[in-house]
Amino acid sequence: MSGTLENSPVKPPILHRVSGKAPHPHRPKKDQAMTPVKTLARLALTALVALATPPAAIAQDSGRLRLEITDAVIEPMPIAVPQFIAESAGASDMAARISQVVVDDLIGTGLFRQIPSDAFISQVTAFSSPVQYADWKAINAQALITGAVSTDANGLINVKFRLYDVFAGQELGDGLQFAGTQEGWRRMAHKVADAVYNRITGEGGYFDSRVVYVAEAGPKDQRQKRLGIMDYDGANVQYLTDSSAIVLAPRFSPTGDRILYTSYETGFPRIYVLDVASVGRRALPIPDGDMAFSPRFGPDGNTVVFSLTQGGNTDLWRMTVDGASPVRLTNAPSIETAPSFSPDGSRIVIESDRSGTPQLYVMDANGGEATRISFGQGRYGTPVWSPRGDLIAFTKQNKGRFHIGVMRVDGSEERLLTASFLDEGPTWSPNGRVIMFTRETQGAGGEARLYSVDSTGRNLKPVSTGGAASDPAWGPLQK
């Protein structure tokens, strides 16, 4: 509602790791006892330990299941995901919902194909039941995911799963268990999907992550904008600001607990730092009359780089997130904007019109000479360095069309992934595999929507936001 603050403190659901392994169906019962619930901080550490070994164990030369992702079009891997077993009274509905989110996550990548349940020969009736590999082979399931869900008297949910390589006739890695509140059920499903994705592809997952964006409403010439935050798939939308002032370009901190964004509430663009949990905010200290915009966190979470316009000249500046130690990084008559750090923080890719048209340049994070890396036809802008460090995503305008593209950090191997009336503002998933961006339709009734595409150019699809949306920024995996 225009002018009304509809936000409230954004509190993540409580989620705990219960143990590194789910009880194995073929081991003695003494190994099946649950260990005490660990804290959320412990979850982050132990999950990494549990998931670190499977990629090496399932390499192709070992004959075990592995999906290699290349630039070529691949045939989706057929997988079977029977509905998770309800191990306590009243858990059936939750088990069905969690199973569906796991499937939606995996199928949504374009890398997997779900085998319909009516094709199943075997029926999974208990989590401890032995796997009938021959039955799953007969329907060409290459991977099988089984799981179980239970609830306790305190309302906590326990989710456990196992992943099987059907044709090798063995389990892929150890099972995992998660426990959390009912509000955290989707996160537990995303964590299951992340673990499965990691073990089959060898890449980190991205499902248990969030996106901050600009939610839009109203006619095109009087568009109202406010910051929204949601799960990567568009669920659990919450609003962080009202729509009384135009807001632009939100950017997550590396830990996902803070957001930088630009607001016009004073009449001039100003940069604000917003705490996601409390929704409290403060402005970066910028001299009155100057315009500050296009902010980005450094990998250390303490550094902010941004554009500052003084006396009609726009240059890049750096300061701490507390507003201390301002440093001017460029000093030129051209417009320098849209900075993005390399993952190690040593370099910055920027957009500059110093050559006459907007192009991409890479420079040292402490300033100095910038090297041009874009040399194709058209204009380039909004560069973003991949979390892997190997690619830079960008917006390109050429011959009346807009594109999202990627190139190597030296400007080589440029590839355009999309084309439309207006595609702009790419942002990377935490694992550097998927790019989300804004696509706006033409005409007076046109509106902005969020889309995603694989970095190879496959699997272009809309992202559900429940309304017009723009300026997405993908956050890190949640802990």
Question: Residue 394, SS3?
Answer: strand
pLDDT in the model for residue 41: 27
Q: Is 196 exposed, middle or buried (0-12, 13-18, 19+ CB in 10 A)?
A: buried
pLDDT in the model for residue 9: 60
Q: Which range (11-20, 240-249, 432-441) has the least confidence?
A: 11-20
Q: Which two tokens stand for residue 220?
A: 């095109």
61 falls in which pLDDT band (50, 70, 90)? very low
Q: Is the per-residue pLDDT at 28 higher than 60? A: no
The pairing of strands 157-165 and 112-114 is: unpaired
Prediction pTM value? 0.88
407 falls in which pLDDT band (50, 70, 90)? very high
Amino acid at 84: F
How large is the C-alpha radius of gyration of the chain? 24
Cα(164)–Cα(59) distance, rounded to whole angstroms? 15
Q: Is the per-residue pLDDT at 19 higher than 80? A: no
Cα(104)–Cα(88) distance, rounded to whole angstroms? 24
The pairing of strands 170-171 and 415-416 is: unpaired
Q: Is the per-residue pLDDT at 427 higher than 80? A: yes
Reported as a single tens digit per residue, the pLDDT across 144-197 is 999 999 999 888 999 999 999 999 999 999 889 999 999 999 999 999 999 999
Cα(408)–Cα(383) distance, rounded to whole angstroms? 12
pLDDT in the model for residue 17: 55
Provide mean pLDDT across the span 276-299.
Answer: 95
Cα(136)–Cα(144) distance, rounded to whole angstroms? 8
Q: Is the per-residue pLDDT at 44 higher than 50? A: no
Cα(304)–Cα(322) distance, rounded to whole angstroms? 9
Q: Which residue has the higher pLDDT, 53 or 14?
A: 14
Q: Which two tokens stand for residue 34?
A: 């649950």
Cα(173)–Cα(382) distance, rounded to whole angstroms? 40
Reported as a single tens digit per residue, the pLDDT across 107-157 is 999 999 999 999 999 999 999 999 999 999 999 999 999 999 999 988 899
pLDDT in the model for residue 70: 64
* Contacts for 72 with CB less than 8 Å, ≥ 6 apart: none
